[in-house]
Amino acid sequence: MEILIKFIYLISAIFFIFGIKFLAKVKTARRGNRFAAFGMFLSVLATLIKMNFIEGSIGISTIIAGIVVGGFIGLIVSRTVKMTAMPELVAVFNGVGGGASVLVALSYVFSNQGQNFNLINSITVAFSVLIGVVTFSGSIIAFSKLKGLIKGEPILFTFSHFLNLVLLLGSVYFLYMGITGSLNGINDQAIQYFLIGGGIALVLGVLLVTPIGGADMPVVISLLNSYSGLAAAATGFVLGNLVLVVSGALVGASGIILTKIMCKAMNRSLTNVLFGGFGGPSEQESQEAGEYQGVKSTGAEEVAMMVDSADSIIIVPGYGLAVAQAQHAIRELVDELEKKGKKVQFAIHPVAGRMPGHMNVLLAEANIDYDKLKDLDQINSEFKNTDLVYVIGANDVVNPAAINDPKSPIFGMPILKVFEAATVINVKRSLSPGFANIKNPLFEQDNSLMFFEDAKKATEDIVKELREG
Amino acid sequence: MDPQIIFFIFTAFILAVFVGFELITKVPPTLHTPLMSGANAISGIVIVGALSQIPDASPSTANILGFAALILATVNVVGGFMVTDRMLKMFKKK
């Protein structure tokens, strides 16, 4: 009987693997998600069967209550969340996963009170607590930053790296005390050590994420995503449960890959993102200061005329599009342009927005064909043959300084070469620098025009002009 | 826990990481957000651990912690899979 349960767990793991495999193609992605969900269902079912029929101990009323409450919250949240708020939601879910892992590990400690842990047991508990807690509090901060509850700018102070190191050592020390304590029977003192160690890790998670700027959030979210998987895996080690370890490892790997892709797209190392405090006025002040000269501004009427005479158009969306909820307005613009027989494509930089793939989801929500969405490598050679580029709410990812100015802090970052197009329209509320806080020479170029307006309002006005004209 | 077993589990962990790397590198940028939320839902597998920590209905500390973990993990699982489905539904070819 026991072996049957293990077998079902294995089947679940296979469903997870195929689920992720199918997620790699738009056509099969939905099926992939369902495969994974079915794998989860099997795991839960197997666990309940095991508890009821093999171990003969199951707190079924508590379990039903927990599933109903959690399921209800999950249902409501998943139905009501706005697509523009996906980064916030994923941040919260990362934290929730980390939190659940810690609670399970702590519950395991409490349920073994009075018994002896061996070294492996206690080390896995310590790991699980450390990773889970950091994931939890780090995600809460990431969420608050995305939501604007706390400042998006990096908050760095002197000695902050030193303080983090002290906190890490402190946390490890108390967890170590918990480990040695629980070897001689888990008593209140050993539990207290684990809790203090966890408490310090909670503060550490907060301080690790606060110094990271808003534009670096795609990296942070990917990394925390990875941590939430590793936390689940660590808890799997605690319980000796293979399906937890395997699934956690899959998620951990997924997060790491995305983190790598995001770092590469910004030409920065992970260490630099995590500890650099990049994107704030602190270090780059001198380079940033330069005033803009010879900037030309424009309005809806003029843009509509230019658009009308262009044959090929590329739209470059950025975080400003999400903030202004302009995806539906963009869709109307695309419809209007295609009616006039123009070729419209989208150029999407990997770090446009606040999480990997953020722009793609928003444009999909507005019913824009995903075939029109091109990534960096696919489209960069096309700008020079393009009549008009419409940059909406993006800044650093189109900054030519990344190519031309070796002194620029973003030098070397792969950018969309919009400056090669015949005409560039930049929709932006003001000339304020982007999150990297550096001047964008694109705005001063002869072929570049500024349209100072909210992304949504600007696009709607252009559509209106196009319809009337 | 037996060191033999832990070594066996660790082997599975490492192999799964490699499988994960192989699978995820093939996911196109368009699907990165659904991938993340889907992966998120999968990390809700800790629900299995939460369930196993609720062997009876007594209000012991262990059970209360297990119950809290169960709520969080269920939010993760249900919310994660449903919101991923909601997103993927929107990716249509016209």
pLDDT digit string, tens, across residues A176-189:
999 998 888 888 99
Residue carrying the six token digits 């299995």: B48
In single-letter form, the type of residue at position A197 comes to G
User: What is the rounded distance in angstroms from the CA atom of residue A453 to the CA atom of residue A463?
Assistant: 14
Lowest mean pLDDT among A270-274, A351-355, A387-391, B71-75: A270-274
A304 located within any domain: yes
Residues A76 and A175 in one domain: no
- Kindly state the tokens that stand for A405: 């100015």
Nearest chain B residue to A50, by CA: B52
**Per-residue pLDDT at A52 exceeds 50:** yes
Where does a domain end: A253, A280, A307?
A280
User: What is the rounded distance in angstroms from the CA atom of residue A94 to the CA atom of residue A92?
Assistant: 5
Residues A254 and A337 in one domain: no
Widest CA span of chain B, in angstroms?
56
- SS3 state at A426: strand
**Per-residue pLDDT at A442 exceeds 70:** yes
Residues A367 and A449 in one domain: yes
Lowest mean pLDDT among A11-25, A88-102, A258-272, A375-389: A258-272
CB contacts of B4 in chain A (<8 Å) are none
CB contacts of A247 in chain B (<8 Å) are 16, 42-43, 45
Of B19, B63, B74, the CB nearest to A70: B74
Residues A250 and A332 in one domain: no
Helices (H) and strands (E) in chain B, counts: 5, 0
Check residue A280 and give its pLDDT. 44
Give residue A123's pLDDT band: very low, low, confident or very high (50, 70, 90): very high
CA distances to A84, A263, A295 from A292, in Å? 31, 29, 7
**Per-residue pLDDT at A146 exceeds 60:** yes
User: What is the rounded distance in angstroms from the CA atom of residue A340 to the CA atom of residue A126?
Assistant: 63
- Kindly state the tokens that stand for A423: 């005409």
User: What is the rounded distance in angstroms from the CA atom of residue A411 to the CA atom of residue A422?
Assistant: 24
Whether residues A62 and B63 touch (CB distance < 8 A) is answered with yes
Check residue A434 and give its pLDDT. 63
Q: Is A375 on the interface with B (CB under 8 A)?
A: yes
How confident is the prediction for chain A on average, in pLDDT? 91
For residues B41-50, give the mean pLDDT.
Answer: 97
Where does a domain end: A223, A249, A280?
A280
CB contacts of B16 in chain A (<8 Å) are 13, 245-247, 249-250, 253
A85 located within any domain: no
Whether residues B77 and A348 touch (CB distance < 8 A) is answered with no
Whether residues B36 and A71 touch (CB distance < 8 A) is answered with no
Of B5, B24, B77, the CB nearest to A253: B24
Residues A258 and A349 in one domain: no
Residue tagged active-site, from A396, A446, A454, A461: A396
Residues 112-151 in A contacting B (C-alpha not used; CB under 8 Å) = 118, 120-121, 124
What is the dihedral sign for C-alpha B4, B9, B13, B16? positive
Are A144 and A87 a contacting pair, CB within 8 Å?
no
Number of domains in chain A: 3
Q: pTM here?
A: 0.92
Whether residues A70 and B72 touch (CB distance < 8 A) is answered with yes
Query: Is there a catalytic annotation at residue A335?
Result: no
Domain that holds residue A154: 96-280
**Per-residue pLDDT at B1 exceeds 80:** no
What is the DSSP track for A146-166? HHTSS-SS----TTHHHHHHH
A89 located within any domain: no
- SS3 state at A451: strand
Residues A333 and A458 in one domain: yes
Nearest chain A residue to B62, by CA: A107
What is the DSSP track for A175-206? HHHHHHHHHT---HHHHHHHHHHHHHHHHHHH
Question: How close A361 gets to chain B, by Cα (Å)?
Answer: 7
Whether residues B86 and A70 touch (CB distance < 8 A) is answered with no
Residues A123 and A272 in one domain: yes
Give residue A277's pLDDT band: very low, low, confident or very high (50, 70, 90): low
Q: What is the CATH number of the domain that holds A358?
A: 3.40.50.1220
Where does a domain end: A52, A80, A108?
A80
- CA atoms within a 13 Å half-sphere pointing along the CA-CB vector of A103: 28
CB contacts of B11 in chain A (<8 Å) are none
User: What is the rounded distance in angstroms from the CA atom of residue A171 to the CA atom of residue A11?
Assistant: 38
**Per-residue pLDDT at A469 exceeds 90:** no
Residues A382 and A441 in one domain: yes
Number of Cβ atoms within 10 Å of the Cβ of A446: 8
Check residue A65 and give its pLDDT. 97
Question: Choosing among A86, A335, A361, which should be mutated to test the B contact, i.e. which has the most B CBs within 10 A?
Answer: A361
Provide Rg for chain A, Cα atoms.
25
